[in-house]
Structure 1
């Protein structure tokens, strides 16, 4: 599988894992201390070939993703669930620990942010009704929702924005919430 876009990863081990799974070029952020020089390289890559951000499903990975999104809002995103990135010995988490087939599946399910302004379909009331915010199980439910919709984990404040950015329709949202409810989370 050949990927035309340049994949942004956190480090060298992630690059090794990506190149093992697919034919692609990468840009490494060298962790969450992402420099302006790296952000400029990402912006240039976006103009020339397009970019897919593929960071670890942890706080530093989400922070890197947010910084890149702020500076280059049109980048695409690939996500892997936390359990698919845990090291075999249980000591560590990251893209570098993922199976090749999981990396390929995540890169096939890439999301392109929707940048057009339109009426928000999914309201905060919908999120509350779905027990995704202001509920004792909200974090667990948001984690699973992110896996079902392949949009990654987000906190309660950012969930509505993430659903909008990735163009999740009300129907897709309702189906995912129904699946959540059947899982009895």
Structure 2
């Protein structure tokens, strides 16, 4: 599979993992110490070919993703889950299988600036995504199901709207999550 866009990753091991999975060019940020020269390279890549940000599914990866998104608007985003990116306690794109990387690149999301947003804070509250028991787990499941990664409640709301997740997609995902949770509870009671 050939990728037209340049993929932004954190380091050499991430580049190696990407190249095992697809034919693509990468820009490495050098980890969390992303500098102005790297941002300029990403801007140039965005203007010529487009950019897909594919950082690790952890705090530093999200931090780098935000820095790039602010500095270089219009980037696309690829996500893997922490489970798919973890090996021997280490979390990163370099640990993902080629199949996982291909799936993430097929499910890439485009961020739209100043999206009007179909999903509201009330929706987040109604579906137990903002606070209380299990809210974090529900956000993890929602992020996995919609392919937008994990985020805290405020960031999740912004991300859902920035990636133009429709109300219908949101409601379908939440219904599936609630059904799966109900099945899990039934199985737990049957034991």
Question: Where on the TM-score scale, by shorter chain, does this alignment land: which range?
Answer: over 0.9
SS in 2 for 1:7: strand
> 2:3, 2:58 → 1: CA distance?
24
- Which residue pairs with 1:96 in the alignment? 94
Structure 2: unaligned runs, 5 residues or longer: 185-191
Of 122, 134, 138, which aligns to 2:135?
A: 138
Superposition CA RMSD, Å: 1.1
Q: CA deviation at 1:154?
A: 0.8
Q: CA deviation at 1:116?
A: 5.4
Instruction: Say whether the 8 Å CA contact 2:115–2:164 is kept in structure 1.
Output: no
- Which residue pairs with 2:15 in the alignment? 15
Q: CA deviation at 1:180?
A: 1.1
- Which residue pairs with 1:170 in the alignment? 167
TM-score when normalising by structure 1: 0.95
Q: CA deviation at 1:106?
A: 0.4
1:28-107 matches, within 5 Å, as 28-87=28-87, 90-107=88-105
Larger Rg computed on CA atoms: 2
**Alignment size in residue pairs:** 182
SS in 1 for 2:113: coil
Of 107, 110, 130, which aligns to 1:109?
A: 107
Instruction: Say whether the 8 Å CA contact 2:115–2:162 is kept in structure 1.
Output: no
> 2:84, 2:156 → 1: CA distance?
22
TM-score when normalising by structure 2: 0.92
